[in-house]
Amino acid sequence: MAVKMVNLTIDNHPVSVPAGTLVVDAAKKVGIEIPVFCYHPKMDPVGMCRLCLVEIGRPMVDRATNQPVLEADGSPKISFGPKLETACTTPVSEGMVVLTENDKVSEARKDILEFILTSHPLDCPVCDKGGECPLQNLTMRFGPGESRFLFDEKMRLAKQVPLGELILLDRERCIQCARCVRFQKEIVDDPVIGFSQRGRALEIVTFSDPGFDSIFSGNTTDICPVGALTTSDFRFGARPWEMNAAASLCTHCPVGCNLTINVRREARAGGRDVIKRIMPRQNESVNEIWICDKGRFAYHFTESEQRLTEPMMRKGSELVAVSWDEALQAAASRLKKAGEKTITLAGGRLSNEDLFNLCQLTSGLGGQYWMHGTMGGGDLLAQVGVGQGTNLGEFGPGSAILVVASDLHEEAPVWWLRVKQAAERGATLIVASARPTRLDRFAKCVIRYAYGEEVETVTSLVPEYKTDVSEAICAGIQGILGAENLVVFFGSDGLGLEGTTALAAACMELLVKTNHFGRANNGLIAVWPNANTQGAFELGYRPAADLASRLAEAQVAYIAAADPAGDDPALAEALRKTGFIIVQELFMTPTARMADLVLPAQAFTEREGTFVSGERRVQRYYPAVRPISGPRPDFQIAAQIAAQLGFSLEERLASLVFQRLSEAMPDFAGLTYQQLAMVEEQWPLIGRHDLYFGGTGYDNHQGLGVQLKPAAQRLEPLNLPDVPELPPLQAPEGAFLVVPITCLYDRGQTLLPTSLLHERMEKPAIYVHPKLATRVGLEDKQSFQLVLNGISTLVQVIFDENAPEGAALLPRSVGVPIQGPALAQKEIVSG
Amino acid sequence: MSGYVLLRHRDIPDLHKLDVYLANGGFAAFKKAVTAMKPEEVLKEVMDSGLRGRGGAGFPTGVKWSFLPNKIWPHYVVANADESEPGTFKDRELLESNPFQFLEGLMLSCYAVQANVGYVYLRGEFWRIAGQIDGCIADLEAAGLLGEKLYGSDYSLRLYTHLGAGAYICGEETALLESIEGNLGQPRLRPPFPATAGLYGKPTVINNVETLANVPPIIERGAAWYRTFGTEKSPGVKIFSLSGNINKPGNYELPLGTTFRELIYTHGGGIPGGRGVKAIMAAGASSTLILANDQSLDTPMDYESTQQLGAPLGSASVIVIDDSVNIAWLVRKTVNFFKHESCGKCTPCREGTFWMDNIARRLISGQGSLKDIDLLYNVASQMQGKCLCALGEFSTMAVASGIEKFRKDFEALVKT
């Protein structure tokens, strides 16, 4: 459908923009700045602040003849209204004439700024926003030099109002633009803050308990055009101009949100770089200009005092510090001896470069390498992952999205946001899950199944198999049939390795049977537990169902960025039988404590590398801080061990490792770091001196990344796996079913060091439907010994009407090991 | 037979009771409309009558109804009973004493635009009246005058009351809609106008209580009869709420075009102590001050003539100010009111009313200077033409006209 273009002139510049464009945006596109406060290009205009007043004229039309009235020279006669109009609420129209620079407009800007400043405290010297403040900038540029308002008559208001433990409000600085209120309501569907009172007493309040209960709350501090909203993490932390900025990526989930890390060298840290805050970096194909609060705040693990700083070797029963030389030699000699009896186990937070060197080293020895994790199916994404050019931001009418077995709001918040917005724009959203999720209310069709029925649910959506299906499935099929584009998200809600692998196969079958693969905006997306699980799959790593026996039989287990002993008691048991354990880690994890050799690795903030997101976008992250002394990058450690063994692996730079990687891996063929660093202009324009427009975000200068072409898009033949049938889940007498779910704020190693989030973290608890509880004999808030896979753990019962009646829900990574659906018992404690 | 068109309860005792209202010709117009007239005939009759909105803007009622698009359904009608303008107390009398005539008008309006649901939005302080209107609605439902398939036709209608929470701004029609929807009472952006996207995003007519009370007699007796009252462009009768320095304050139902002099001296009994009239506020606190002199006193009170004095007639709440009053005191009163009632949505009104109140208070307390008078005037001018809704503009009227016409009163308060 061709977009109708509208021609107008703004300050004598001819402009042609699509119909429906607002005057303020049209001006921006040709470099004319119309200042705003309340307007934000990602939200509906409200016209409240009145700063964007401009003079607008429209061609006169003779009412009698309906013909344009012409001037003597034949040009259309323009009629200007008696009042100035708000550029942020007025759509362009043909022949419109906009004046943004004349005296009338300048006076109006000065007037409005004077009004706004009557109540503003002007505490710029101590304000966090000072230096990157739209009010400051616009006042300098358009405002009156001095105020006629008497200083003594200024309102004195509270300057530290905690809206929650994460966000603080300075009531004096607030200019009532409602950007935050609108963001919470319109963008993220968490209307937990709003205005109370009226007039000059208007104030932002929170309605929720806990306060400001939204996982996107930090974004309000970016779009706040003054220093009214600040995070408790950054508040009074640094002045913007003192900080350096580095481009990075979020490591907490597979979305791959682009970040900017602001750092400052600090005396109290012994002259080291300290991360002061994390901000979103614009990538309209990935995270737009938003990030979730986990991504924003949970970086403190990189600076934790608990980080490993020196290699350690087991001497006697103790791990003692040794030199890198000694450690590398010990590793090499053990690996050499083990040869093909080496097993390498890698975690999904390693970079592609780390994973590449590790697998090269292992292959060189003839050993085997595996991924640590309980989610499968990533190999299928190499075939039918979403096509190059996929952008959820383009989804609207004619597109469909199916989300299966994933609570996106908890597992990958920014995907949740983008899927929700796609549905609001008119995309058909089909949600299939065993329990209600925050996506349901945006879905055209919600399919509810019982845990264990994931695969057959997806299979029943294949139109040609249609037999005697429920109304919801029918609606789902209709939605899929009616769509030009279809993207399927699959997750691991209630599933383990076996279930997710089967589910991925079923999803691939659905995509292939309905011909939704091999092109942009079609294909499969996996909601992985880690940032680079997809990268590990791309490089040939697979999760192993029989990992325990493999570990038990290995002479050397080389474990990087994974904690099998902490995650699974069975693996801990197996590791006791392993000949020699090398652990490459940030922290002294339970696995590291069992190790014979511990090698300290650098955090992602200290080095560079690449990740592959769930949408198969390869993206670069850059060093943000100078590394602490001791730890080395994972890829380098592997290469240095290899050097001892006589293999030549690249150890100098991640970019050089990537060069080898792209030569070796067909999917990455031809890809370079330079390509990954390329950018193009994105809309809206943010992060420049005119930051009033989109808020204090970061413009992207360091790369938008490159989406890999799946095999299907390269027209390679497909290898369709069989869809295995899963055994039905049924609990025998005296037991009940427990399934794993993912919660955003778990108690994982990378989250716990962020004390700011402790109040919001999951406790060791299971969510139980009251009916199930009655059957099992559990009471709300009761603590009891849960026996799961033979291990007994003290957990709390939380009644949850949203939990299914057939299974209790246990969050992953809260201290109770669970790998997949499992039978549980209540331990009978005598007395 | 009553001589009144609207204030008929003054002649007919107990008119607020349904049986009394019915016995006096009540609901004849509604029955006639539903059983014998097409909706567009009702609309045409109202359009022909020249009835103009009594809430203040004076927009032709029939024209307003005709704006509703017939492609978008459902339609809604909302009666604006948020009577909050200082000096205005006409709707209250109608609601309390002649509620059925108002409700019949609302029902006729609903029928004309084929709305099946109508709302009565009452200011929060009218909670007792809201209870009474609820009773009226219950009586009408019991009598079969509201409900499904009225008079055996296909037309069904339900009415509901909605009580505000005490905000002047909710009399502004889009803020009123926000309030009904359960949101913070702040005006909406226009366009879209309520006629195309109003309550719950659907086409909506919003009419003042008094406007609606005019409709039953128009339908019953015809547009030509109605036009026998008032002037050519401002036909009909109007309730003038008379207050201030006056011997007999109260509501007066008079034809539009009655002069200020007749209202004040003939009906209102003149000024206490025989003092002179100094100024008139014709539209409550939103008024531009009218300097009282022979010419202005002899001006007919209709929408056009009053406007020629530079002051809109508004809701015709005439506040008389005698020569004992210092206009600066009056200005402070009105500014303080607007500061208290500004919703805070747009910058000029939120900050401007607060600022003007500060300056005016300073002047009144004798702490001001000559510069403050200019500043007050400047701030008012600085607000004009920049506010989101009319309230912001109204808040500057008394200030600007007060200083323009009665500057000496301000200067008298200034330290020299």
- CATH of residue A791's domain is 2.40.40.20
B86 to chain A, closest Cα gap in Å: 18
Domain carrying residue A740: 736-826
- Helices A634-645 and A324-338: crossing angle in degrees, nearest 10, is 60
Contact B358 A150 (CB under 8 A): yes
**Mean pLDDT calculated for residue range A337-360:** 97
- Same domain for A164 and A119, yes or no, is yes
Q: How many helices (H) and strands (E) does chain A have?
A: 23, 35
**Mean pLDDT calculated for residue range B50-67:** 95
Cis peptide bond prior to A311, omega within 30° of 0: no
Q: What is the pLDDT of residue A1?
A: 52
**Mean pLDDT calculated for residue range A207-222:** 96
Give me the long-range contacts of B65-68 (CB less than 8 A, separation at least 24): B65/B109, B65/B112, B65/B113, B65/B205, B67/B193, B67/B195, B67/B196, B67/B203, B68/B113, B68/B195, B68/B196, B68/B203, B68/B204, B68/B205
Interchain CB contacts (distance < 8 Å): A and B: 90
Contacts of A706 (CB under 8 A, 6+ apart): A617, A618, A671, A675, A676
Q: Which residue, A489, A391, A388, is CA-closest to A437? A: A489
Burial class (CB in 10 A: 0-12, 13-18, 19+), A295: buried
- Same domain for A563 and A664, yes or no, is yes
On whether residue A305 sits in a domain, the answer given is no
**Mean pLDDT calculated for residue range A170-183:** 96
Is the confidence at residue A768, as pLDDT, over 60? yes
Query: Are residues A143 and A113 in contact, defined by beta-carbon separation less than 8 angstroms?
Result: yes
Find the CATH number of the domain harbouring A670.
Answer: 3.40.50.740
Residue A768, CA atoms < 13 Å, CB-side half-sphere: 26
- Same domain for A123 and A218, yes or no, is yes
Which domains, from first to last, does chain B contain? Answer: 8-226 (3.40.50.11540), 237-322 (3.10.20.600), 327-411 (1.20.1440.230)
**First vs last C-alpha separation in chain A:** 74
On whether residue A271 sits in a domain, the answer given is no
- Same domain for A123 and A31, yes or no, is no
- Helices B99-113 and B90-97: crossing angle in degrees, nearest 10, is 100
Which of these ranges, A92-96, A195-199, A465-469, has the smallest mean pLDDT?
A465-469
Is the confidence at residue A2, as pLDDT, over 90? no
Is the confidence at residue A831, as pLDDT, over 50? no
Find the CATH number of the domain harbouring A211.
Answer: 3.30.70.20
Enter the ipTM: 0.93
Shortest CB distance from A199 goes to which of B342, B378, B387? B342
Is the confidence at residue A830, as pLDDT, over 60? no
Could you say which DSSP state residue B241 is in? E
Torsion region of A254: left, alpha or beta (phi above 0 gives left; psi -120 to 50 gives alpha): alpha
Percent of chain A with pLDDT over 70: 99
Contact A49 B353 (CB under 8 A): no
pLDDT level of residue A63 (50, 70, 90 thresholds):
confident
**Mean pLDDT calculated for residue range A112-116:** 95
Shortest CB distance from A46 goes to which of B189, B343, B354? B189
pTM: 0.95
Whole-number Å distance between alpha carbons of B285 and B353: 13
- Same domain for A97 and A119, yes or no, is no
Percent helix, strand and coil across chain A, each to the nearest 5: 30, 25, 50
At B119, give phi and psi (nearest 5°). -120, 145
Structural tokens at position B312: 């809109």
Chain B within 8 Å of A137 (Cβ-Cβ)?
Answer: no
Q: At residue B45, what is the residue type? A: E
On whether residue A646 sits in a domain, the answer given is yes
- Total domain count for chain A? 5
Whole-number Å distance between alpha carbons of A22 and A25: 5
pLDDT digits (tens, 9 = 90+) for A543-580: 999 999 999 999 999 999 999 999 999 999 999 999 99
On whether residue A284 sits in a domain, the answer given is no
Is the confidence at residue A696, as pLDDT, over 90? no
Whole-number Å distance between alpha carbons of B79 and B91: 11
Query: Are residues A276 and A265 in contact, defined by beta-carbon separation less than 8 angstroms?
Result: no
The secondary element (H helix, E strand) that includes residue A499 is helix A497-513
- Same domain for A421 and A498, yes or no, is yes
- Same domain for A508 and A584, yes or no, is no
Q: What is the pLDDT of residue B12?
A: 95
Is the confidence at residue A581, as pLDDT, over 60? yes
pLDDT digits (tens, 9 = 90+) for B285-338: 999 999 999 999 999 999 999 999 999 999 999 999 999 999 999 999 999 999
Is the confidence at residue A688, as pLDDT, over 80? no
Is the confidence at residue B1, as pLDDT, over 60? no
pLDDT level of residue B31 (50, 70, 90 thresholds):
very high
Q: What is the pLDDT of residue A732?
A: 86
Chain B residue whose CA is closest to A112: B348
- Write down the residue that tokens 């640094």 correspond to: A238
Whole-number Å distance between alpha carbons of A567 and A551: 14
B188 to chain A, closest Cα gap in Å: 8
Whole-number Å distance between alpha carbons of A490 and A10: 48
On whether residue A445 sits in a domain, the answer given is yes
3-state SS, residue A110: helix
- Helices B209-221 and B90-97: crossing angle in degrees, nearest 10, is 60
Contact B355 A118 (CB under 8 A): yes
A110 to chain B, closest Cα gap in Å: 10
Q: Which of A88, A115, A195 to mutate to test the interface with B (most CBs of B within 10 A)?
A: A115
Q: Which residue, A239, A241, A222, A242, is CA-closest to A231? A: A222
pLDDT level of residue B270 (50, 70, 90 thresholds):
very high
Could you say which DSSP state residue A632 is in? B
Q: Work out whether strand A229-231 and strand A167-169 pair parallel, antiparallel, or are unpaired.
A: antiparallel
Whole-number Å distance between alpha carbons of A541 and A370: 5
Between the CA of residue A679 and those of A533, A610, A700, A704, what are the distances in Å? 25, 16, 7, 6
- Same domain for A638 and A668, yes or no, is yes
On whether residue A729 sits in a domain, the answer given is no
Report the 3 state secondary structure along A547-608.
Answer: HHHHHHHCCEEEEECCCHHHHCHHHHHHHCCCCEEEEEECCCCHHHHHCCEEEEECCHHHCC
Domain end position, chosen among A530, A547, A567:
A530
pLDDT digits (tens, 9 = 90+) for B111-164: 999 999 999 999 999 999 999 999 999 999 999 999 999 999 999 999 999 999
B274 to chain A, closest Cα gap in Å: 41
pLDDT level of residue B400 (50, 70, 90 thresholds):
very high
Burial class (CB in 10 A: 0-12, 13-18, 19+), B259: middle
Q: At residue A740, what is the residue type? A: P
- Write down the residue that tokens 């020629």 correspond to: B308
Residue B318, CA atoms < 13 Å, CB-side half-sphere: 36
CB contacts, 8 Å: B353 with chain A: 199-200
Domain end position, chosen among A504, A530, A556:
A530
- Same domain for A448 and A360, yes or no, is no
At A489, give phi and psi (nearest 5°). -100, 130
Q: What is the pLDDT of residue A468?
A: 74
Chain A residue whose CA is closest to B169: A198
Q: What is the pLDDT of residue A361?
A: 97
On whether residue A180 sits in a domain, the answer given is yes
Between the CA of residue B385 and those of A308, A772, B187, B352, B382, what are the distances in Å? 65, 64, 16, 13, 8
Structural tokens at position A230: 């600040």
Looking at every residue in chain A, the average pLDDT score rounds to 94
Whole-number Å distance between alpha carbons of A735 and A747: 27
3-state SS, residue B157: strand
**Mean pLDDT calculated for residue range B21-38:** 96
- Same domain for A563 and A518, yes or no, is no
pLDDT level of residue A828 (50, 70, 90 thresholds):
low
Query: Are residues B271 and B323 in contact, defined by beta-carbon separation less than 8 angstroms?
Result: no
- Which residues of chain B from 177 to 206 reach within 8 Å of chain A, CB to CB? 184-185, 189
Between the CA of residue A264 and those of A331, A605, B214, what are the distances in Å? 37, 13, 73
B343 to chain A, closest Cα gap in Å: 5
Q: What is the pLDDT of residue A92?
A: 97
Chain A within 8 Å of B386 (Cβ-Cβ)?
Answer: yes
Q: How many helices (H) and strands (E) does chain B have?
A: 18, 9
- Write down the residue that tokens 């060298």 correspond to: A265
Whole-number Å distance between alpha carbons of A184 and A166: 15
On whether residue A514 sits in a domain, the answer given is yes
Burial class (CB in 10 A: 0-12, 13-18, 19+), B71: exposed
Is the confidence at residue A181, as pLDDT, over 60? yes
Is the confidence at residue A679, as pLDDT, over 80? yes
- Same domain for A502 and A389, yes or no, is yes
Which of these ranges, A146-150, A315-319, A754-758, B31-35, has the smallest mean pLDDT?
A146-150
Chain B within 8 Å of A432 (Cβ-Cβ)?
Answer: no
Chain B within 8 Å of A51 (Cβ-Cβ)?
Answer: yes
Cβ count near A827 (within 10 Å): 12
Whole-number Å distance between alpha carbons of A449 and A726: 14
- Same domain for A402 and A525, yes or no, is yes
Contact A118 B341 (CB under 8 A): no
Is the confidence at residue A651, as pLDDT, over 60? yes
Domain end position, chosen among A677, A696, A721:
A677
Contact B355 A50 (CB under 8 A): no
Is the confidence at residue A49, as pLDDT, over 50? yes
Is the confidence at residue B214, as pLDDT, over 70? yes
Query: Are residues A131 and A61 in contact, defined by beta-carbon separation less than 8 angstroms?
Result: no
Q: At residue A114, what is the residue type? A: E
- Write down the residue that tokens 């989109």 correspond to: A694
Give me the long-range contacts of A271-276 (CB less than 8 A, separation at least 24): A272/A625, A272/A626, A272/A628, A273/A244, A273/A624, A273/A625, A273/A626, A274/A303, A274/A625, A275/A299, A275/A302, A275/A303, A275/A605, A275/A624, A275/A625, A276/A234, A276/A237, A276/A238, A276/A243
Structural tokens at position A518: 């091999």
Chain A within 8 Å of B343 (Cβ-Cβ)?
Answer: yes
